[in-house]
Structure 1
Amino acid sequence: MAGPTSSLTSQSQPMAAGGSGAGSGMAGIVAAEAVQVSPTVRLAPLSLCSSSADIVVGQKVFAIGNPFGLDHTLTVGVVSGTGREIQSISGRPIQDVIQTDAAINPGNSGGPLLDSGGCLIGINTAIYSPTGANNGVGFAIPVDIVKSSVGQIIQYGKVTRPMLGISFAPDMSSEALGIKAGILVLSAREGGPAWKAGLKGSTRDEYGRLVLGDIITAVNGVKIKSSSDLYRVLDKAQVRSEGVGGSLLKEMSNSVK
């Protein structure tokens, strides 16, 4: 689902309703849709788990979806792990992901992952499989991210992310340069937040030798050892808040080498 669109919503009972998309985010994994139905139709929303912190390894879960076009398929499993990290289609890491052995196959993406009480704890999103078929390692976006994403989609029409206006070296490249912890700034976009805060990118001298730029070691008091740490801090910050535009960058300016 990319941008506002229209759709036809159906369910097992004889009914159909027109829908208009409010927007989408998380690389198309999470979307919000306004649905108009007949007054005689009763739609009950799913209850949401209060917090991703309540999810524990070993608890029973149920995945619902349409694998291979088979509507209303339910599979059962357990939470195999929490705090996992996967890559989105855009390449940005998605953190604190739920791992489950409940069968997730093509067509399950976007379906709910429920606990034994019927509360939504995540949105099914991916599997780890060389063949593309389920092998017992599936992943779901946790409810905390779902809540935040849906709220932003309804308000802005998309998921908004804080932007620092920098490019930085991959972690492996930084390690090869002898940087044990921190983010090596390659460039800071002129006029961007990081540039205004005084961060400098890497350059080359007159002999072509690499001159390292600033290295971000902490943001808002949180130590930054890798790119995952930086993304985690940014994902928790609010767009247009002082935490991103002000104190965050001031802290960065005071925490560079």
Structure 2
Amino acid sequence: MAIRFVRVVVIWLLVLATLWVTEPYLSALWFSASAPRTVTPRGSLADSEQATIALFKNVSPSVVHVFARAAPTDSLFSDEGVVQSGSGIIWDAAGHVITNNHVINGTAQIGVRLTSGEFVAARVVGTAPNYDLAVLQLERPTSPLRPIAVGRSADLQVGQSAFAIGNPYGLEQTLTSGIVSALRRRLPMTAAQEVKGMIQTDAAINPGNSGGPLLDSSGRLIGVNSVIISGSGASAGIGFAIPVDIVNRVAAQLIRTGHVPEPGIGVVAAKQDEATSLGIDGVVIVRTLPDSPAAKAGLEGATADGVIRDVITGANGKPIHSMSELASTLDDVGVGNQVSLTVDRGGQTRSVKVTVGDISQLDQG
């Protein structure tokens, strides 16, 4: 009896072992999808997905790819020299395109690829380096142009949705999304000029997105993507866009005159760290430009032997600590209007009225 029980147990163990060894082969034989799988119906897209799809379809024809080369050649895509690229926005039916100044700065040949695939030569209408903006004119495009819908940036709120369309790393017509992360950021564009009210977003922005649109959930332009902050140079969730209210004003002036006045008083200032090392809190005037508003108002730069004469410590009753703060105040005052400066000379403080001028028209020598 015991021997029979042992035999039964051994047989069952052999059967189980055989099944364990052959199971993968049997599964592959019986369950493999050797024919195309049946598609599972998915139902309707979510409302938010449909809205995003519609946004991209409506706006993407207004976004172009901008190419620029320092030296002109027979073909913009020849092997001669480096071609830099970015994004652009169709601004009006006349063929004006908005992009960043740094996308085309220092270049001699510019081309634009439309969403239709057409490649069109372009020329510079005007630039505003202090705002990192430029306006291009397309040369005889044959494809229909769709100007972008323009919104407002003054009423934006932190937390609302934001969408970016551009050409990161040359990958055309790329859509990313996020939110408005912060408002009223101040970022330097030049050594003495910063743009106020910059929009911060976590929508992925990478090299090549520069000059492309930042959009609200209605597909309206709320900013022009310009800057990222990243240790690697790639998106780190901190991107910045120039507010559309500034873009609207600057673009109109560039199209009308090719020039945007640069409010200033015509002073060359010492670097802020140099002033700090001397224990001075304010704008140290190194020299005044010839025939500038500052020179006409009697402000003086340092003497030939390095003796500091005038230091600007306030403007219109507010303290001034740096040249960028002074430039921001002068931008608010506007060309042709007066600003009241608080000036320190040799320990004596006085108030000086200066008429703000367009310093881009002054001799910088």
TM range (shorter): 0.7 to 0.9
Change in Cα spacing, 1:173 to 1:21, as seen in structure 2 (3 Å) is closer
Give, in whole Å, the separation in 1 of the partners of 2:270 and 2:110.
Answer: 42
Change in Cα spacing, 1:18 to 1:143, as seen in structure 2 (3 Å) is same
Over residues 211-235 of structure 1, what are the superposed CA-to-partner deviations in whole Å (9 max), with x where a residue is unaligned?
3322223334554333232121233
Shift of 1:173: 3.0
**In structure 2, what is the equivalent of residue 22 of structure 1?**
125
Give, in whole Å, the separation in 2 of the partners of 1:27 and 1:100.
Answer: 21
Match of 1:213 among 293, 309, 320: 309
Give, in whole Å, the separation in 1 of the partners of 2:110 and 2:288.
Answer: 41
The one-letter code matched in structure 1 to 2:163 is: F
The residue correspondences of 1:4-153 to structure 2 (distance < 5 A) are 7-13=110-116, 15=118, 19-26=122-129, 29-35=132-138, 36-38=140-142, 42-50=144-152, 52-88=153-189, 92-153=193-254
Query: TM-score under structure 2 normalisation?
Result: 0.58
For the Cα contact (< 8 Å) 2:130–2:193, is it kept in 1?
Answer: no
Over residues 102-128 of structure 1, what are the superposed CA-to-partner deviations in whole Å (9 max), with x where a residue is unaligned?
111111000000111111111111111
Say which structure is richer in helix.
Answer: 2
Give, in whole Å, the separation in 1 of the partners of 2:277 and 2:120.
Answer: 56
Give the secondary-structure state (helix, strand or coil) at the position aligned to 1:133: coil
For the Cα contact (< 8 Å) 1:26–1:159, is it kept in 2?
Answer: no
Range with bigger deviation, 154-163 or 70-79:
154-163
Give, in whole Å, the separation in 1 of the partners of 2:304 and 2:121.
Answer: 58
**In structure 1, what is the equivalent of residue 302 of structure 2?**
202
Over residues 156-208 of structure 1, what are the superposed CA-to-partner deviations in whole Å (9 max), with x where a residue is unaligned?
3233312322111233333333334x322121123222111100122366xxx
Between structure 1 and structure 2, the one with the greater Rg is: 2
- With a CA cutoff of 8 Å and minimum separation of 6, indicate the structure with the bigger relative contact order: 1
Give, in whole Å, the separation in 2 of the partners of 1:132 and 1:4.
Answer: 22
Give the secondary-structure state (helix, strand or coil) at the position aligned to 1:88: strand
What is the count of residue pairs matched by the alignment? Answer: 240
Change in Cα spacing, 1:29 to 1:242, as seen in structure 2 (3 Å) is closer
Shift of 1:2: 4.7
**In structure 2, what is the equivalent of residue 242 of structure 1?**
336
For the Cα contact (< 8 Å) 2:131–2:189, is it kept in 1?
Answer: no
Give the secondary-structure state (helix, strand or coil) at the position aligned to 1:74: strand
Give, in whole Å, the separation in 2 of the partners of 1:172 and 1:6.
Answer: 39
Over residues 8-34 of structure 1, what are the superposed CA-to-partner deviations in whole Å (9 max), with x where a residue is unaligned?
544333656554431222369422233
For the Cα contact (< 8 Å) 2:132–2:189, is it kept in 1?
Answer: no
Give, in whole Å, the separation in 2 of the partners of 1:233 and 1:91.
Answer: 12
Change in Cα spacing, 1:26 to 1:186, as seen in structure 2 (3 Å) is same
For the Cα contact (< 8 Å) 2:192–2:324, is it kept in 1?
Answer: no
Change in Cα spacing, 1:46 to 1:256, as seen in structure 2 (3 Å) is same
> Identity of counterpart residues, as a percentage?
40
Query: What is the root-mean-square deviation of aligned Cα atoms in Å?
Result: 2.8
Match of 1:228 among 309, 324, 339: 324
Unaligned stretches of 5+ residues in structure 1: none
**In structure 1, what is the equivalent of residue 362 of structure 2?**
none
Give the secondary-structure state (helix, strand or coil) at the position aligned to 2:240: strand
